[in-house]
A = this chain, B = another copy of it.
């Protein structure tokens, strides 16, 4: 294995290339929201996400209860993005010796709260000392109709649940010193960042209805995640700027252009594609969930953004990259 320069993408690409991924029962290895293995009649979905102090969260501003919830919930979002049902979790927790017991209590209460909300059992893990807080959660789920990233076809519509950009704007507000409780509008955005909601039920419904040809959660940003779908499905996509769903709170508060919506990560909404024939199956879902059609898949490659005036620009992946320049 040879890394010329250390970036998240080169590391993952190299690992994917050089590790043998053939193994009895293995349906999906590295390269989707989660791994999938087949056990008898069932499919098991496995995912692991890290939350590192100073990289993913700031200890001073992130309430520990909400950090506990988020640690589990970002993993549940990966299970949702495969159309699965979360079952079990393992927690790896490294804490500095100086951490107040109260912090650990509130953090664990947050983990417990998310476990109860989504009926997930904490079945194991590891606890250690460290100079910084480092959280590693593994979630195991199960599913019948697994939906991967590679099934989008030319002509499919592109859909997104909820609104985009709230979390990125919430993080921005937080770094500016805005706190929960300061204002109703800012609270909505801060909550999107501090306490995101994984779309587990919607993921299950999309899976049961067998409505989507591809599915991903928007964790790295729309531009990155839609590019993932397109690359893995070997198709292109165009999305319409005016159709991108924006919350009222973000409309009131945002002080920049579309960047937060297009490239801001951690919204944890579901992005999926649906063929023309199956669009009618979405009607009942649309009554229960906020779902917007934002574009369509075409034969070719690349993701394009179409503006109101008809101009069209290439939408390059610009979400958060670890170790990027």
Contact = CB atoms under 8 A, between A and B. Distances in A.
Contacts of A310: none
Interface in A1-57: 1-6, 8, 11-12, 14-15, 18-23, 25-26, 28-30, 34-35, 37, 39-42, 44, 46-50, 52, 54-56
Number of copies: 2
A92 B129 contact: no
Question: On chain A, which size bracket covers the interface?
Answer: 35 or more
Contact of A46 (B88, B105, B131, B323): B88
Contacts of A322: 127-129
A177 interface: no
A181 interface: no
Interface string A65-104: 0000000000000000000000110111011010101101
A168 to B, nearest CB: 18
Interface stretch (A116-124, A236-244, A257-265, A293-301): A116-124
Nearest to A121: B23
A140 interface: yes
A58 to B, nearest CB: 13
A136 interface: yes
Given A35-B124, A42-B39, A123-B26, A52 B15 contact: no
A169 interface: no
A-B pairs with lowest CB-CB distance, top 9? A136-B136, A3-B101, A23-B121, A35-B123, A35-B124, A40-B40, A48-B90, A129-B322, A52-B130
